[in-house]
A and B are shown apart, each in its own frame.
Chain A
C-alpha cells in the first residue's frame, strides 16, 4: 500500500489541508485493518518520526491523522491513524447544501442575534437629538400667548 507522509500545520477542522513536501513510502497495514482507524508498521525514518498526516492509496484512499506512534522492534514504528473525513471528502462537502449557522465569510453581524458577540446591553450610551421644528416657544415676549374667550355681542 502506498502512503504519503506529510507534516501538516493546519488545524484538524480545516477542510482543505495544505499538503506539501510529502514523502511516499510503501507500507502494510496491521491486520485487521479498520478503514477509519488503521495502523501501519513503518521502518523508522526522519519522515515518519516527524510526520503527522498520511494520505493512503488504494484500497483505503483516505486521508488520515497520525494519532499515535510507537517504536517497536526492528527499528520500526507502529503508526496509529484516524481518518480525516473533512479533507478526504472535501469536494463532496463543498458541493453539499446545508444551513450555515455561523460563518466567517458573512463578515459582519447579521439580523440573527448572536449571544456570543460581546455586545453589552447593560452598558449603554445615551444620545439625544431634537426635531427641526416645534409649535411651542418659550419666547413669551414675542408671542401672543393668551386666548381670551368672551360672550360676543354687537358693539355699543
Chain B
C-alpha cells in the first residue's frame, strides 16, 4: 500500500534524510532514505506542520499505518512487547529478575523506521519529565486510575520511503563481561563492548563478553553507486522503530487507556541504528532505562523488546535513579535468534561489516528477509537466491502490503509431527522364548516330563517339583504358550528353554517384547485428474488382524499413506498406525486400528496337589506308578505341541486338547482297581484359554481398496454444451466459450437499467464468450 500522502505529505515533497551535500547529489531520489514532509521544511531541527499542534505529529492519534511496507510476524519480538511496572521494580535488589506486567501477542505488527533531529539534543536523560512534550520519550502507565500524557514522542520523523537495495542492515551486538553488581565487570557499557554479529560469534568476543544487552541494526547506504556503503546518516540523531498498532495492553483494564505510541530505542551516540532486541522507550542510557523523578519511579513503566531467551532485571538504583535492563547469555542459538529477528523486516541484511560496506547483493553472506503475503516470519535467503526475491528489483520499499488489511495469520507453527517409538524391555520374573516348530522337535520336551519320573519315589512330588520347577505343580511353570504368525520375533543369541530351574536343552531365542514394523508407503493417485470426482472415491484400508478403516479421500488423495504395525508380543495385541505426510512435511497419524494377532495355546496337565490328596491312601509304589503315567500324559501333550511343525495352528489347539484326553485314557487303563479311584476324575489343569486366530487365515498384507465411480462424458462436448462447474471471480474476457456467471459488475459501461438486467439474466443463463 502506498503511504498516505494526505497525512505524510506528497511523495514529491518527501525529504532526503539528512539533507547533506552527498545525498543532495544523488540524482535518483528513490535511492535515498526519505521522510515525511509536514511543511515548513528545514534541513535540520525541522518543525512539523501536521497535527493538532503546529509542527508536531498529532499526539492524540496513532501514526497512520500506511507507513508499514511489511508486517512483522509473530516471530518478531516486536509482536510481543513486554511491559514492566516500575512499582514492582523499585523494591528489588540490583540484579534481581523482574517478570513482565503484560506481554503483547500480536500476529502481525505494523511498524515504521523513525529518525529525528531534535532527539539529538543534549543528553539522553529523561529531561522532559512526565509531561515531556518535545523529547523522544514514550511511556506507558500501568495504572488505569491516573491519567498521564504519555504519548509524547513527537520528535521522530517517519521514514516514508527507502530503496531495499540501498538499505543494508548490519547486525551489531552490545555486550558486557559480567552481571555481578559487586564486580568491576558489572553490567554496564563502560565495561562492555560493541561488535558486529559475525565478529561476536566467530571470535573470542562472545567468551570475553558473554552477556548481550542489545542487538541492533545499522542501515548501510551508498550516496554514490561507485562508492562503498556507509552508516546512514552519519550523524548523532535519534532513531527508533515505531509500532503502529494499538498495543494489546490497551485491552487490559489495569493499563491506562488508550495506549498507543511509537518507540524510540537509543543504541548509540554516533551511528543511526534501530534496536532489534533490548529496552525501548526514551530515557535512561544505552543499556537500560531510568526514571529519576520520584513519581515516575513508582508510577511509570518500562517496555522491552526481546524474546523469552532474555532476562529482565533491575540494573541499579542510585540517588534518584532507578534503572532496568534486559540481557541474555551467549549460546549457540544466538546467531539464529538475531538473523530471524532481523529477517522479519524484509530487508537485505548481513552480519559482516565488509559485506555491509561493499558486498554484492548476491554475496553468500548477504541475506534477504522473505515476505509471505507481505509479512516477515523470520525466513531469509542468501547468496544468489537473493536475486529471486522481489526486493532485489524493487524501485523502493513499496511492496504492495496493505497494513490496514493484513493477511490472516495463523500463529500456530504446525511443527507437530507424530511418531511411534519402541518401549524398553520389561524386566519380569518370567522368561520368554521364541521357539520354532523345527527346534521344538518331537522328543525334546518330553524330557522335561521324564525328569519328573526320575524323582525318588519316597520324595514328595510337590517338594520335588518346587525344587526343580519352582512350583508345586510342574505345569504351573509354564505361564503361557502363544502362537503368533509374526516374523522376526526373536532377539539376541540362541539359548535353551528353562522351566524354573530345569534346563530343557531345547534350543530357542529370547523373544522380543514388542515389534514396530513399517509396512511401507502407498501413494494414492487421483484417477480423474485430482478433481471432485476423485473425492467421490471410497478408500478402504484392510489391516490384517485389525479390521478395516475408511480413509477420507479429501485428506489422502495425492498423498502417500503409511501403515506401521505395533505388536505387543507379550499379549499379542497389535495396533496398525495409519499416517501420511502433511503438506509441511510432517508425519500425521490419522487412524489407529487395534486387534489381536496371537492365540493362546492351552496346555493341560495334572493338578499335582489335588492328585496327591486323592492318592493319599494309595501305596507309594503304586502312587509313583500313577504319577509317572501322568507325566507320560504330559509328554503326549507336549508332543502335540512340538508336532505342530508346519501345521495349521488351529489343528494344534485341538491336538493339545486331544492330548489331554489321551492323558485321561492312560489313567483309565491303569490296573489300579485297588485304589478307590474308579469314580474320581483326574484333576486336569489348563494354562491359557482357547482362542481363535482365523485372521491368520486371511490376507496378511495391508491392502488398500478403491471404490471409484464411473463416468461417461466427452470433455470437449460437455464443456462446450454446459461448461464445467467452477467458482472463479475474474474479468469475463479471461474466459471463452460457454460461460455462466453471476453478480457481474456492469458499472463499467453505459446501458439502460433494463438492458443491464437483460445482460445479467443472459449471463446467468449461459452465454458464449
Tell me the A residues contacting B by CB distance below 8 Å.
10-11, 13-16, 35-36, 83, 85-86, 88-89, 91-114, 116-121, 123-138, 140-141, 143-156
Contacts and interface: CB of A to CB of B under 8 A. Distances in A.
Contact of A100 (B432, B436, B720, B730): B730
Contact of A120 (B469, B565, B711, B769): B711
A135 B519 contact: yes
Contacts of B503: 155-156
Given A95-B731, A96-B746, A156-B501, A133 B518 contact: yes
A32 to B, nearest CB: 16
Given A94-B732, A98-B745, A104-B739, A119 B709 contact: yes
Contact of B748 (A92, A128, A133, A137): A92
Contacts of B432: 147-150
Contact of B710 (A96, A112, A125): A125
B742 A102 contact: no
B754 A130 contact: no
Nearest to B765: A13
B403 interface: no
A125 B708 contact: yes
Given A13-B767, A111-B531, A112-B532, A148 B497 contact: yes
B13 to A, nearest CB: 35
- Counting chain B CB atoms within 10 Å of each CB, the highest count among A86, A104, A141 belongs to A104
A149 B316 CA distance: 70
Contacts of A144: 434-437, 439, 489-490, 509
Nearest to A148: B433
A94 B769 contact: yes
A98 B502 CA distance: 87
Given A89-B751, A105-B736, A148-B481, A131 B703 contact: yes
B436 A98 contact: no
27 contacts: A13-B766, A14-B768, A36-B752, A95-B731, A95-B732, A95-B749, A98-B743, A99-B744, A102-B766, A103-B719, A103-B735, A103-B740, A107-B715, A108-B531, A109-B725, A116-B722, A119-B536, A131-B520, A140-B485, A144-B435, A144-B490, A146-B641, A147-B433, A147-B484, A148-B478, A150-B478, A153-B501
A128 B434 contact: no
A98 B767 CA distance: 13
A37 to B, nearest CB: 11
A102 B740 contact: yes
B536 to A, nearest CB: 5
A108 B715 CA distance: 7
A11 B767 CA distance: 9
A132 B704 contact: no
Interface stretch (B258-266, B627-635, B756-764): B756-764
Given A15-B769, A137-B700, A147 B531 contact: no
Contacts of A93: 732, 744, 746, 759, 763
B435 A107 contact: no
Contacts of B535: 111
A110 B729 contact: no
A112 B434 contact: no
A101 B467 CA distance: 86
A143 B738 CA distance: 65
A123 B766 CA distance: 31
Contacts of A130: 699, 701-704
A13 B429 CA distance: 87
A145 B484 contact: yes
B523 to A, nearest CB: 10
Contacts of B517: 133-135
A20 B568 CA distance: 82
B706 A100 contact: no
B717 to A, nearest CB: 10
Nearest to A155: B503
B727 A101 contact: yes
A152 B705 contact: no
B108 to A, nearest CB: 28
B430 A112 contact: no
B701 A134 contact: yes
Interface string B688-717: 000000001001111111111111110100
B255 interface: no
A135 B120 CA distance: 75
Contact of A121 (B536, B567, B647): B536
Interface in B514-571: 515, 517-522, 528-529, 531-533, 535-536, 538, 542, 544-545, 563, 565, 567, 569-570
Contacts of B2: none
Contacts of A110: 531-532, 724-726
Nearest to B728: A100
A15 B232 CA distance: 60
B533 A119 contact: yes
B730 A97 contact: yes
B721 to A, nearest CB: 8
- Counting chain B CB atoms within 10 Å of each CB, the highest count among A89, A97, A108, A148 belongs to A148
A118 B563 CA distance: 35
B434 A147 contact: yes
Contacts of A107: 715, 719, 724
Contact of A89 (B471, B484, B703, B759): B759
B482 interface: yes
B411 interface: no
Nearest to A137: B487
B416 interface: no
